Homo-oligomer: A and B are copies of this chain.
Amino acid sequence: MEQTKIILDENEMPRQWYNILPDLSSPIEPPLDPRTWEPISPEALEPIFAKGLIKQEMSSERFIDIPEEILEIYKLWRPSPLYRAHRLEKLLKTPAKIYYKNEGVSPAGSHKTNTSIAQAYYNMKEGNERLTTETGAGQWGSALALACNYFDLECKVYMVRSSYYQKPYRKSLMTIWGGNVVPSPSSDTEFGRKIQKEQPDTPGSLGIAISEAVEDAIAHDSTKYSLGSVLNHVMLHQTVIGAECKKQLEQVETYPDIVIGCCGGGSNLAGISLEFIKDRLEGKNSPRVIAVEPSACPSLTKGEYRYDFGDTAEMTPLLKMYTLGHEHVPPAIHAGGLRYHGDSPIISKLCAEGLIEAVSYDQCPVFDAAIQFARTEGIVPAPESSHAIRCAIDEALKCKQTGEEKTILFNLSGHGHFDMSSYDKYFNKELT
């Protein structure tokens, strides 16, 4: 049997991030100032973000060196293993070869640490002392708490209310690393208090939590805001995933026909796919790329491609993206990390140009896939990542119909150890 895990040594870890911006067919539409709707200057972003990150957000360099201090922390879990899903293939009786990248091996349990470490680093370098953020499922908040711990920054996390109560142990995890977590809407910000008053029963949303975190950052000294997805610099930091996958697949002399990632804001999908889309943009052979969304929050499959705010309170710059509207509050599904009204501008542009396809699934078939995966590959996947599993299984089943031996690669963006209440609801048939 071909090997199960394809691993790389630490010294084979990518030392540069890949920036797709200069490779795009046309420049990406700039963010707009929320007050004037005119393109925003880098300086105007400085009250919110570290300068080093703003520079990356708008960079025209194709490759950006990863600072040594970041590489040293990445080494705690990177390079992450690439798995051949022998047992899943056997269960499906498919001629397809299924590979998955296991980003769940990071201490916080997902790919989010790839950017949280980088963001905390640049903030520390510029003398900032505190970061604020929002979190949905808690994966991002955990990742930022871990990163702030390494660079001696305070970390304040506004956690979407529905997730805060569905996943109480995510809060515990953030606390272990020194993070300070409150349910959003909270009483710590003006906007949070307003929503609490107007919609006392709201499950919360990423849009609301972002507004709170941005307000907090602007209101406090030495404090910046940190976003776990959507922005260009976040996509940039995640490209280590795809770069590792490419090296790992070369080890077994293969190249994917299909690359799959779940998609909320777009970061894990960008992480695994941009390296392969680069091949397309260079005129080489390249795979189909599929974004998988929950049908309860179908921004790519049912949204409009236009400028919209990133948050509910209209405090963030406007971004050109697929959006369901910034006032949209998606139902409290169990893949909390995919409950975002918008999408990464990079992913949106690639979708609009046909370089990425998008599909959506209901919760139940996604959990069916998660159980099939857990009972074959062993690993219990996060509900978010299980969207990618569902799609990979369906593509493998299509190969069974056609007899094609396609190579399918998907991103297992995180483990589900903190999502047991969701699995309980699935087994109790309480999912809709």
Contact = CB atoms under 8 A, between A and B. Distances in A.
Contacts of A11: 3
B423 A175 contact: yes
B1 A72 contact: yes
Interface in A322-371: 371
A24 interface: no
A420 B5 contact: no
Contacts of A1: 72
Contact of A173 (B106, B108, B380): B380
A362 B424 CA distance: 34
Q: Name which of A106, A377, A378 has the most chain B CB atoms within 10 A of its CB.
A: A378
A417 interface: yes
A286 interface: no
A377 B149 contact: no
Nearest to A77: B378
A314 interface: no
Given A10-B4, A375-B149, A175 B427 contact: yes
Contact of A380 (B7, B75, B176): B176
A375 B76 CA distance: 12
A116 to B, nearest CB: 12
A403 interface: no
Interface in A200-239: none
A371 B168 CA distance: 19
B76 A378 contact: yes
A40 to B, nearest CB: 36
A420 B72 contact: no
A178 to B, nearest CB: 7
A3 B173 CA distance: 27
Contacts of A380: 107, 173, 176
A295 interface: no
A182 interface: no
Contacts of A106: 378
A295 B313 CA distance: 54
A379 B173 CA distance: 10
A366 to B, nearest CB: 14
Nearest to A427: B175
A194 to B, nearest CB: 31
Contacts of A175: 423-424, 427
B374 A176 contact: yes
Interface in A72-124: 72, 75-77, 105-109
A173 B5 contact: no
Interface string A372-394: 00110111100000000000000
Contacts of A75: 3-5
Given A1-B72, A4-B76, A176 B423 contact: yes
Interface string A155-195: 00000000000001100110111100000000000000000
Given A169-B420, A417-B417, A177 B375 contact: yes
Interface string A1-16: 1011101011100000
A7 B4 contact: no
A151 interface: no
A3 B374 CA distance: 32
Contacts of A105: 105
Contact of A172 (B5, B7, B149, B423): B423
Contacts of A10: 3-5
A421 B176 CA distance: 12
Contact of A177 (B3, B9, B169, B374): B374
Contacts of A417: 109, 173, 417-418
A108 B168 CA distance: 21
30 contacts: A3-B10, A4-B75, A4-B76, A5-B10, A7-B9, A76-B377, A76-B378, A77-B378, A106-B378, A107-B374, A107-B378, A107-B379, A107-B380, A146-B378, A149-B375, A169-B169, A169-B420, A169-B421, A172-B420, A172-B421, A172-B423, A172-B427, A173-B380, A173-B417, A173-B420, A175-B423, A175-B424, A176-B374, A178-B375, A417-B417
